Amino acid sequence: MIIPRIYSIHDQAITIEFSQTIDEQINMQVIAWQYEIESNPFPGFIECVPAYSSLTIYVNSDCNIDDLKNHLQKKINITENKNHFNVFSNNQDAKTIEIPVCYDSEFGFDLPWLSNTLKLSIEEIIQLHSEHIYRVYMIGFIPGFPYMGVLPAQLETSRKQNPSLKIPTGSIGVAGKQTGIYPAEIPGGWHIIGKTPLTIFDKSSESICLLKAGDRVKFIPITKKEFDQFQ
C-alpha cells in the first residue's frame, strides 16, 4: 500500500506525492485524484497540475493550506481504508488518440545514429516505436509538451550530450524510457525519429492541447507523400 506524502510548495499550493517512480498504476491514481478534485472543487480551489507520480493543487486566499492538508489527508485515509476509490471509473475521460508520424530520415534525423547505437535497423526502430500504445503521463517542460511512456526497453537511450539548437515543431523524440512530441521549435536533447503533421499545441484554439495527462497515444507510420498531402 502506498502512503502518499502531502507537503506545501507555496503558501497557496499543496503537492500530493504518491511515489517517486514512473509507473502507470501510480499515474492513474494521480489522474483519478485530479478528476475527483476538479469535479468537487472546494472554496478557494484554482487548479490541479498532474505530474508523473504527484498532483499539485493551487488555491487562493479563500483557502487555508493547513485545512486543505487535513482535508486531503482525511480523503486519502477514507480511500485507503474503504478501498472505494475506483481508479478506472475516474479515468473515463481519457481518450486513445492516433497520431500519424512520418519516420522519413529527413524528419527523423537521429535515426541513423540510434540504429547504430541500439544495434537495430531503422525499420525495427519504427516498428517498435509504432506498435506500442503510450500513456501521456504529464504535459510540461514547455507549453504542450507531452511526456509519454513507457518506451520498449530496446529503444532506451540517454539524452544527447549536446542538445540540438533547433528541433522543428511536430518532431517525435525519444529519451530514456520516454517519448514526446515537440509542440514548438526549440532546442532539445531528445533523439528525433520522425515528425507528425498534426498540430498538438495551439494557444488560440479552444482546447489548447490535443493531448492531456491520462490519454493514450498510438503512432501511425505514414509516408513522406502522405505527410505532404496532410492538410
CB nearer another protein, residue 35 or residue 219: 35
201 binds another protein (CB under 8 A): yes
CB nearer another protein, residue 112 or residue 143: 143
Which of positions 83-142 make contact with another protein (CB under 8 A)? 138-142
Q: Cell for 1?
A: 500500500
Q: Give me the least distance between CB of 220 and another protein, in Å please.
A: 24
3-state class of 58 per DSSP?
strand
CB 126 within 8 A of CB 148: no
Site string for another protein, 135-174 (x = CB under 8 A): ---xxxxxxxx-----------------------------
Task: Figure out which of the listed residues 76, 213, 217, 222 binds another protein, where binding follows CB under 8 A.
Answer: 213
Say how far apart CA 91 and CA 48 lie, in whole Å: 15
Task: Figure out which of the listed residues 3, 25, 46, 98 binds another protein, where binding follows CB under 8 A.
Answer: 46
Say how far apart CA 131 and CA 148 lie, in whole Å: 14
Say how far apart CA 159 and CA 66 lie, in whole Å: 40
Q: Cell for 87?
A: 481508479
Say how far apart CA 37 and CA 75 lie, in whole Å: 11
Q: Give me the least distance between CB of 59 and another protein, in Å please.
A: 11
Task: Figure out which of the listed residues 24, 41, 66, 199 binds another protein, where binding follows CB under 8 A.
Answer: 66
Which of positions 6-25 make contact with another protein (CB under 8 A)? 7-13, 15, 17, 20-22
DSSP alpha helix (H) spans, the chain: 24-39, 65-82, 111-118, 122-131, 224-229
Name which of 59, 164, 65, 156 is nearest 110 in CA terms: 164
Task: Figure out which of the listed residues 4, 33, 54, 215 binds another protein, where binding follows CB under 8 A.
Answer: 54
Strands 54-59 and 96-102: what pairing? unpaired
| Chain residues that interact with another protein, rule: CB under 8 A | 5, 7-13, 15, 17, 20-22, 34, 46-56, 58, 61, 64-66, 138-145, 184, 201, 203-204, 208-209, 212-213
